[in-house]
Structure 1
Amino acid sequence: MIQRRDFVKSTLGLAGATLAGNSLAGNESSPPQTMAKNQFKLLYAPHFGMFTNSAGKDLIDQLKFMADNGFKALEDNGMMGRPVEEQEKIAKEMARLGMKMGVFVVDKGGNGANTLAAGKKEYIDIFLNGCKKAVEVAKRVNAKFMTVVPGDFQRDLPIGIQTGNVIDALRRGAEILEPHGLTMVLEPLSDTPNLFLRTSDQTYEICRGVNSPACKILFDVYHMQKNEGHIIPHINWCWSEIGYFQIGDNPGRKEPTTGEINYKNVFKHCYEKAKANNQEFIWGMEHGNAFPGKEGEMALIKAYVESDSFAV
């Protein structure tokens, strides 16, 4: 799922050194106070590999670099495929740093080979088994959200029947996740027109049909800009069913400020709306770097400093 303008100076000193400390609500542990170079208003979540030129290849060193630069969350689509020892090591360091865990992808959580739209028992069983495994991984890494993509269209069935099949399967998945306080977030995508789940309003309809706190929308702004546009109105219409956001500018699927999306306005709108409703969302940085090397990584951080600099 992963694939700026001119940048002036390194961004690392822009915000000054201020205390990050215990700024994350809901952390059970009490992480030590650290000197973060940037104080972001939102919970932006980088992924492993985004800062390897600056932090090296070691995952723990990458986590430290993220936290040192003000990022308070992490997402890792491939977490389920990591060895248990590595999962535990990551979780321990994140707790120490006061970072929250974002999404990981449910293994075989619905794809072209076993689409939930088909309503076939063997496909549903694969999905439900993935949900059961996801519970154990989520406990291990202190995660609350996991990504599910229902799969491709089953083109020999009417669309209403496909929608009903997807709702039925997701209800059964929600029954597994809900007792543990976990939420699968459904991601409408733009990667191929063969995908069943394409728009936010379609995903809203399905979430309302599942009718469980364990089934919400993953609103990926990049994909939704491609498929439907009109980003802020769609966010407002779907707000009650959104559980998680992801970021990527369009075209190019790189950091904010590299494309056409006014992320500063999107971030400001969602920050104010969430604050008014006593909510907090993780924003997964599911995009590539527009420029290579350390300079590109510094430019990426600068882009987030710029986009997060809205007045409140």
Structure 2
Amino acid sequence: MIRRDFVKNTLASAGAMLAGTSSIVSAADQPAGSSPMAKNKFKLMYAPHFGMFENSAGKDLIDQLKFMADQGFTAIEDNGMMGRPVDVQEKIGKELDRLGMKMGVFVVDKGGNSQNSLAAGKQEYIDIFLNGCKRAVEVGKRVNAKWMTVVPGDFERNLPIGIQTGHVIDALRRGADILAPHNMTMVLEPLSDTPNLFLRTSDQTYEICRGVNSPACKILFDIYHMQKNEGHIIPHINWCWSEIGYFQIGDNPGRKEPTTGEINYKNIFKHVYQKAKAENKEFIFGMEHGNSRPGKEGEEALLKAYIESDSFQV
């Protein structure tokens, strides 16, 4: 699924949720902002997106946030946040603060895509990217966000790969200089959507982050994409650990909730939980996937899958 299509679909679609060990808890059943009374106590910070619980919570974004908190989710992500009106961003930010939820990633608008490849080294593309970073800072302040997704775009196939890599590093350094003073971090996402994309593997992204050498540039390790492109998930997480800032989730094949495909998410979650706890780190796990079934039934199946996958022993 191409990212622009996923953003479009997630802003408009319904999503996922099964509460309690088997029944959904509506936002009306518990007091607003009642995270301590949430139905589920997850070990990790799983972050749904807007539309994921629309069948259970309704279309209103604030009602969806309350519903997520009532079910035990402590974070959200919203790829399309930069496209929302300023007053909506501010309203979301205030509600997240009231609920004690963290804001996960949003996508830096034109932060690098097929029409704006940072690998090309063209000044007009760099300017578009840097302008996107500057605007992302203002959006981040409204919603109290630390993380924002950047995809460097396609290969520039008339240039040697080392030159392309140098161009990407140079542009990202300048973007990191914009974000770092605000304690914000771009997370670079290697993708599997098309072989034309420059950033494809976790070790390549690790190399680039080391080259940028800034706390404002880290890896977004999307387990779905990395299963498709390289497999060997836990060793790659270990190898790239020092540069990983954020995780995303989706089973393969199908890009649906955990337990619907081949990835052993329970083991992966346990591994990251134990490794992070030993180093006093904390990660958000963005639920960037669809539902395997439609309607409320699909929402129930999705939450059941997260309850099961989070039930690892520690």
- Structure-1-length-normalised TM-score: 0.92
Alpha-carbon distance in structure 1 between the residues aligned to 2:83 and 2:23: 38
Q: Measure how far apart 1:95 and its partner are.
A: 0.9
Match of 2:207 in 1: 205
Q: Measure how far apart 1:12 and its partner are.
A: 2.0
Match of 2:168 in 1: 166
Matches within 5 A, 1:1-312: 1=3, 2=6, 11-14=18-21, 34-312=36-314
Give me the identity figure in percent.
82
RMSD of aligned residue pairs (Cα, Å): 1.4
Q: Deviations over 1:278-312 (max 9, x none)?
A: 00000000000000010100110000000000001
Secondary structure of 1:184's partner?
strand
Which residue type is aligned with residue 285 of structure 2? W
Secondary structure of 2:237's partner?
helix
Q: Deviations over 1:39-90 (max 9, x none)?
A: 0000000000111111111101111111111110000000001001000111
Indicate conservation of the 8 Å contact 2:55/2:296, yes or no.
yes
Gaps of 5+ in 2: 10-16, 25-32
Alpha-carbon distance in structure 2 between the residues aligned to 1:170 and 1:117: 11
Q: Measure how far apart 1:34 and its partner are.
A: 4.1
Q: Measure how far apart 1:11 and its partner are.
A: 4.4
Q: Measure how far apart 1:14 and its partner are.
A: 1.6
Q: Measure how far apart 1:35 and its partner are.
A: 1.6
Alpha-carbon distance in structure 2 between the residues aligned to 1:94 and 1:177: 22
Q: Measure how far apart 1:114 and its partner are.
A: 1.1
Which residue type is aligned with residue 21 of structure 2? L
Alpha-carbon distance in structure 2 between the residues aligned to 1:173 and 1:12: 41
Gaps of 5+ in 1: 4-9, 18-30
Q: Measure how far apart 1:13 and its partner are.
A: 2.6
Q: Measure how far apart 1:15 and its partner are.
A: 8.5
Alpha-carbon distance in structure 1 between the residues aligned to 2:176 and 2:103: 20
Alpha-carbon distance in structure 2 between the residues aligned to 1:242 and 1:59: 29
Alpha-carbon distance in structure 2 between the residues aligned to 1:126 and 1:140: 22
Q: Measure how far apart 1:219 and its partner are.
A: 0.1
> Which is helix-richer, 1 or 2?
2
Secondary structure of 2:272's partner?
helix
Secondary structure of 1:68's partner?
helix
Q: Measure how far apart 1:16 and its partner are.
A: 10
Indicate conservation of the 8 Å contact 2:18/2:299, yes or no.
no
Indicate conservation of the 8 Å contact 1:16/1:38, yes or no.
no
Indicate conservation of the 8 Å contact 1:145/1:185, yes or no.
yes
Q: Measure how far apart 1:32 and its partner are.
A: 5.7
Q: Measure how far apart 1:124 and its partner are.
A: 0.1
Secondary structure of 1:96's partner?
helix
Secondary structure of 2:246's partner?
strand
Match of 1:28 in 2: none
Indicate conservation of the 8 Å contact 1:32/1:97, yes or no.
yes
Aligned residue pairs, count: 293
Which residue type is aligned with residue 135 of structure 1? V
Secondary structure of 2:298's partner?
helix
Change (3 A) 1:163 1:221: same
Q: Deviations over 1:222-272 (max 9, x none)?
A: 000000000000000000000000000000000000000000000000000
Alpha-carbon distance in structure 1 between the residues aligned to 2:161 and 2:208: 12
Indicate conservation of the 8 Å contact 1:15/1:39, yes or no.
no
Which residue type is aligned with residue 121 of structure 1? Q
Q: Measure how far apart 1:33 and its partner are.
A: 5.2
Which residue type is aligned with residue 226 of structure 2? M
Alpha-carbon distance in structure 1 between the residues aligned to 2:63 and 2:160: 50
Alpha-carbon distance in structure 2 between the residues aligned to 1:121 and 1:129: 12
